[in-house]
Amino acid sequence: MEQPDERARFEETIMPHLDAAYNLARWLTRNEHDAQDVVQDAFLRAFKYFGGFHGGNSRSWLLSIVRNTAYTWLQKNRKQELATVSDEEMHDIEDTSSNPEVLLLNNSDRQEIRRAVEQLPVEFREVMILRELEGMSYKEIAEMADVPIGTVMSRLARARKQLQQSLGQRLQPGVSQ
């Protein structure tokens, strides 16, 4: 039986991505302890199905499992957070000239930024974290979320607009929106 070899291969291939897994779970659940539970469940699933992993991008493979585990957890524990934002609600978000990335660089109030990101709907939070913090490509995110690349781009654009509006109100209270 090759159990020790399989375990060593798992640890070598998957364990380096533990921080990225926790980061994604933390942002999706918005809670340290819930994220730890999600990551633990995800790693158990990853180990169980590791025999089916035949190379490729191990980080994307693991983050897909973390994502699916987090969504399952949210479905069971916080179903209301999975409500999708309608297009009509998106039209209410103003497009101001301030760029959210510039706001992030120009304002060091990390707590306000964290709160603004945490207020995003889960689908928007997810693409924002995967793209901006984990540096994943649109294609990788699309494959992970099982949605078209255009959907990823749309969600990211909408997430940025919502952040722009929220941060503009929080970090520049004297500016009218």
Hey, how many other C-beta atoms are within 10 angstroms of the C-beta on 71? 18
72-102 in b/e burial notation, b at 16+ Cβ within 10 A?
A: ebbeeeeeeeeeebeeeeeeebeeeebebee
What was the pLDDT predicted at 171? 59
Q: Does domain 3-82 have CATH number 1.10.1740.10?
A: yes
pTM over 0.75: no
- Copy the structure tokens of residue 105: 């660089």
Percent above pLDDT 70 for the chain: 76
pLDDT the model gives residue 163: 86
Q: What is the pLDDT of residues 85-133, one digit of tens each?
A: 444 444 444 444 455 555 555 444 667 778 888 888 989 999 998 998 8
85-177 to CATH, choices 1.10.10.10, 3.40.50.12160, 3.20.20.70, 3.10.450.50: 1.10.10.10
What are the domain boundaries of the chain?
3-82, 85-177
Q: What pLDDT does 95 receive?
A: 41
Query: Which of 43-47, 71-75, 79-83, 91-95 shows the lowest per-residue confidence on average (mean pLDDT)?
Result: 91-95
pLDDT at 89 (0 to 100):
42
pLDDT tens, position by position, 136-161: 899 999 998 889 999 999 999 999 99
Cα separation, 111 vs 174, whole angstroms: 19
